[in-house]
Structure 1
Amino acid sequence: MIRKATAQDYDAVWEIFHAVIRTEDTYVFPSNTPKSDLEKLWFAPNMHTYVYEERDEIMGTFFIRPNSIGSGNHIANAGYMIHPDAQGKGIGKLLGKYSLQLAKELGFTAMQYNMVVSTNQNAIKLWKKLGFKIIGTTPKGFKHKKLGLVDTYIMYKSL
């Protein structure tokens, strides 16, 4: 079940967030990001934060927010995290589809991901399957923990 996140979900979302950033291979957040930063990074007032729950366990989370302010606030941006133990079970696809519908309902006209790490082939494959296109590349835009500097992609989908 996908539902809006509540304050009671904070610890479970932190567990996912911390597990994902620890690898330093898909998100820009340093692995030593403190739990106290989760509020501004995943639960900020301009974010619509959701969780995926199965058998009373939170296994994934995402947020939607405007990609920019003012005259650029009609394009959405989102971030997704799946608990490492739950990856490969289709949860990312569920969250992706749900977030695209939610973005439409919230009045956004498009969704844009500003930094998809080029080595994150599972995410790229999923976003392409959901209709996203790579519209730009930032050469060496990400410091991958194991691979060093790798490219990042800007991905876009009209809603």
Structure 2
Amino acid sequence: MLIREATEEDWPAIWAFMEGIVRAGETYTYDRDLTAEQARDSWLVPPPGRAFVAVGDDGAVLGTAKVTRNHAGGGSHIANGSYMVAPGHGGRGVGRALGEHTLEWAKAAGFRAMQFNAVVETNSRAVALWRSLGFEIVGTLAEGFAHPERGLVGLHIMYRRL
């Protein structure tokens, strides 16, 4: 697997799986009726942020990540990351590889830490992955997420120094 910076040419492959994840409404706070254009504008971030893709040996996009400043001004030294793995590729190390890559990239780019603002507590695979990569849950917003099947569940704020 190769991880590289995402390009506009990667967008159709990213949207091909991102759309289903967004529409399901189980793991992200995106509006479920998000358009491809809105998603592209929020995912393919301008510098100093970056978007990445994990690509298989056959050239297929297996997953994607983006890293941006969590806040502007006095909070601009903290990175924020988002990650999606294409269905059928979960549990194969794609998310871990993207996580490791983005943590290294963020540190090299001068960020001091990475914070995730909204990790849905029922997304146990993601919570376990981020904990295994050194993130800690620093707070949980009780009933902060309206899960389509489980009702109101918590949103974790997760943090790791770089």
The question of whether the paired residues in 1 share the 8 Å contact of 2:45 and 2:66 is answered with: no
Cα offset for 1:135?
0.4
**Unmatched runs of 5 consecutive residues or more in structure 2:** none
Matched, 1:109 2:112: yes
Cα offset for 1:134?
0.4
TM-score, structure 1 length as denominator? 0.97
**Unmatched runs of 5 consecutive residues or more in structure 1:** none
The worse-fitting range, judged by mean Cα deviation, of 26-35 and 91-100 is: 26-35
- Report the equivalent of 2:81: 78
Instruction: State the alpha-carbon separation in 2 of the partners of residues 117 and 38 from structure 1.
Output: 19
Cα offset for 1:45?
1.8
The question of whether the paired residues in 1 share the 8 Å contact of 2:26 and 2:147 is answered with: yes
Question: What SS does structure 2 have at the residue aligned with 1:30?
Answer: coil
Cα offset for 1:31?
2.4
Instruction: State the alpha-carbon separation in 1 of the partners of residues 17 and 62 from structure 2.
Output: 8
Question: When the two structures are aligned, how many residues end up with a matched partner?
Answer: 159
- Report the equivalent of 1:146: 149
TM-score, structure 2 length as denominator? 0.95
Cα offset for 1:40?
2.1
CA RMSD of aligned residues (A): 0.9
Question: What SS does structure 2 have at the residue aligned with 1:84?
Answer: coil
- Report the equivalent of 1:4: 5
Question: What SS does structure 2 have at the residue aligned with 1:152?
Answer: strand
- Report the equivalent of 1:18: 19
The question of whether the paired residues in 2 share the 8 Å contact of 1:19 and 1:83 is answered with: no
Q: List per-residue Cα deviations over 1:76-111 (Å, max 9, x = no partner).
A: 001000011211111111111111000101100000
- Matching of residues 64-103 of structure 1 within 5 Å: 64-103=67-106
Letter in 1 for 2:115: Q
The question of whether the paired residues in 1 share the 8 Å contact of 2:45 and 2:68 is answered with: no
The question of whether the paired residues in 2 share the 8 Å contact of 1:61 and 1:81 is answered with: yes
Question: What SS does structure 1 have at the residue aligned with 2:27?
Answer: coil
Instruction: State the alpha-carbon separation in 2 of the partners of residues 35 and 131 from structure 1.
Output: 33
Instruction: State the alpha-carbon separation in 1 of the partners of residues 39 and 144 from structure 2.
Output: 23
